[in-house]
Each structure stands twice: as structure tokens, then as C-alpha cells.
Amino acid sequence: MKRITITAELIEEEEGGYTVYCPELDIYTQGDDVEDAIKNVKEAAELHIEELGIENIKLREILRRQIKMVV
């Protein structure tokens, strides 16, 4: 069994709930609240890895920067 670390980028939606994106695997899902969204992205990641096979998963390195802008 191999351990990996993925990122959950959570976006609160105006109509309620959260969209969650995992950039390392390029998958999206959603949830009613933060905990639900995280549970769902874990499940989606497990299914994605199961379908492709762990040996075929190439986790992308993600660089994040917060950019302040004046608009």
C-alpha cells in the first residue's frame, strides 16, 4: 500500500454547498459542507486511482501563489 498526499481546493458556492478540486489528480466533486466535500474528494480520488492503477498515477507537483491585485 502506498501513501500519497492530495490537495482539496474548496470553493463555497452561492447556492450552497462546496465544489472541491484536486489538482494533483485533476478531479472535481462537491459536497453539502466542508466535511462532506472532503469525504467526497477522497472517495473520488480512490475510485480514480483504482480505475487507472496506482502504478499509472503521476501526481503533478502543484505550485500555489496568492496574487494581490488592484482592480
What are 4-33's pLDDT values in tens digits? Answer: 899 999 999 999 999 999 999 999 999 999
Nearest CA to 7 among 54, 47, 21, 16? Answer: 21
Q: The domain at 1-71 falls in which architecture?
A: 2-Layer Sandwich (3.30)
Answer yes or no: is pLDDT of 54 > 90: no
* Residue written as grid cell 478540486: 21
The model's pTM is 0.82
Q: Which three cell numbers stand for residue 26?
A: 485533476
Answer yes or no: is pLDDT of 37 > 90: yes
Q: What is the pLDDT of residue 41?
A: 98
Q: What is the pLDDT of residue 28?
A: 97
- Tell me the domain boundaries of the chain: 1-71
Q: What is the pLDDT of residue 62?
A: 86
